[in-house]
Amino acid sequence: MPRPPMTLCPRFSSGLPVLAALLLALGTLAGCGPNPPEPSDDTLSALSVFPADVQSVSMIDLQRLKEDAGISFFGERGIQLTLLDSDIVFDPLSREQRADLNTFIEASGFNPDTDLQSVYVAASPMGETVEMEAPLLVLNAQFERDRLAASLADATDLVTPVDTESDMPVFAFADAERNANEARADDRRMALLDDRRIAIGSPADIGALLDRMQSGTGGFEASADDRELIGYASANNAAWSVIRTMPEQMGNIGEMLDGDASTWQERMARVATVTQQIGIGVSLTSEDVQARLTLAAGENASDVRSVLRGLASGAQAYDDLSEQQRTFLQDLEINDTGRFVHVDMRSTQRALAELMISAR
């Protein structure tokens, strides 16, 4: 049997920088007024199963990307993108594995291409470094839990049953070299939480998640500050990410600059040291890309806004800028509302592609 859920894990395991790069590459927040929109009930429900101290939370709406931008992750032809009319197709499965997947779909009634709605990601730092631990995923989907659990129990080359007697069946991704109960920190387990949610994470993360759900205590509850930032980042977007607490290294970034640091480096260090939280929201259609970066800087918001505007304006004076780069800088909108600074970026897919090529 193929392992469609496992293809998700490596995409996020390298941590927040990779996730942020993915979100930026996919392409915003629709315009906002003085008050941020409230996070949706679905968002708050998904986040509630995460640990209380999680540092970053993110979401990718797979169905919206499919409908708005023609990106299909589990289509019959594999991962398919129609961006820039490219019709690029990447299928990590062999013909035999694809046939096995179709057999599994028929038996379980669960088709990832149509039934998997969105993926929520929780990550926390490893000790004092900015490297993130392997994340905890919550997949929002439509399926019959009992039917899916029965099919998974038979798919011994895909998963190994760990606990199928409880209300929330748990499976370990199969590894021929050891027994499922010989857990390692980098192992992955999958729990069918209910008929709408599947969790994927380390044995410790899944065990703690199940304990929280059964006891009804200890999960992530968004504070007023969290709700504001999540509201800005998640509103009307196909993908978003929020860093709730900045890594300690960001506060020491000024010490990383030597005496020869240029003015723009010093200004960026200033922005980094006063930024308390960061959110990014992205959306795209078959032609357009929008993104908004939101920085929570508290009483320093107007200062950060001025610094970023100055950097964008000053960069336009460079003679070696390409036309695409100059246009991109001119179109940036940098504003502040309360404790937040918003950097809005809007482009067509083709212009963004040309910008990336010119920046090489």
Tell me the three state secondary structure of residue 82: coil
Per-residue confidence at 360, pLDDT binned at 50, 70, 90? low
Task: Return d(Cα 324, Cα 351) in angstroms, integer.
Answer: 7
Look at residue 8 in the predicted model and tell me its pLDDT: 32
pLDDT of residue 76: 75
Please give the Cα distance from 308 to 71 (Å, whole number).
33
Mean pLDDT of the chain: 78
**Residue 151 φ/ψ region, left for φ over 0, alpha for ψ in the -120 to 50 degree band, beta for the rest:** alpha
Mean pLDDT of 259-275: 74
DSSP string, 202-227: -HHHHHHHHHHHHHT-SB----HHHH
Question: 165 pLDDT exceeds 90?
Answer: no
Q: Which two tokens stand for residue 244?
A: 């709730």
**Nearest-angstrom CA–CA distance, 336 and 294:** 9
Q: Which of 139, 150, 90 is nearest to 116 (CA)?
A: 139
Query: Does residue 281 or residue 84 have the better pLDDT?
Result: 281
Tell me the pLDDT band of 178, cut-offs 50, 70 and 90: low
Q: Of all residues in the chain, what percent carry a pLDDT higher than 70? A: 78
DSSP code per residue over 84-110: GG--EEE--S-HHHHHHHHHHHHHH--
Rounded to two decimals, the pTM is 0.80
Q: Which pLDDT band holds residue 320 (cuts at 50, 70, 90)? A: confident
CB 40 within 8 A of CB 117: no
